[in-house]
Amino acid sequence: MKQDYFDRVYEKTYRPLLRYAILHLSNPADAEDALQNVYVDFYRRIERYGHLDILAPKSFLLKMLKREIIKNYAERSVRKAYLIEDYDKDRTERTISFTFEDAVLDRAMVEQVFCTAKSLPPETYRVFVLYYGFEMSVADICTELQIGREAVKSRLFRARNELRKQLFPQAAQSPSKRGIHYE
């Protein structure tokens, strides 16, 4: 009974809570760890006291996640602020040798890409996951992370280039001019 309840809550809340954690922690790996801690604590709580008094499990978990995020920052005693200047919006789109979308049609490739992407710098990985994993638009990412449009596009560009080098070294050697358009 308790396990069934936990499984149902987990299925309904995992994606939105992971997104929230990624947006509020400076390192996506820290976000995954924080969310895992929340679910472990939640499971222990329902094991010990039951779940009948939890009327809104998503809100309950969100409150736990907020505390975990605060704890994460307090333990590190470092708060990072993302202050990036807003670049000229009329800059031309950068070109890439091969579109990322062409490479991720196969599910196994998607898993390999996201696994490889974990080696990216945290701020680049975060934008990459929000854009490709959560299918957020560039404008939404700008709003959520409070960074400029060109900063988001630049991080996506760097992420794709780095992944291309690691996953497709032959393609990175022979560039062709194909533009990419976000949104």
**pLDDT score of 8:** 94
**pLDDT score of 108:** 58
User: For 113-146, what is each residue's pLDDT tens digit?
Assistant: 777 888 899 899 999 888 888 888 999 999 989 9
**pLDDT score of 158:** 92
Show the low-confidence residues of the chain (pLDDT under 70): 74-110, 171-183
Longest Cα separation, the chain: 61
**pLDDT score of 154:** 93
Residue 168 is encoded by which pair of tokens?
Answer: 């497709």
Q: How far apart are CA 173 and CA 160, in angstroms?
A: 14
Yes or no: say if 166 and 116 are a contact pair by the CB < 8 Å rule.
yes
**pLDDT score of 173:** 56
**pLDDT score of 11:** 94
Per DSSP, 179 falls in state E
Q: Is 73 exposed, middle or buried (0-12, 13-18, 19+ CB in 10 A)?
A: middle
**pLDDT score of 7:** 93
**pLDDT score of 4:** 92
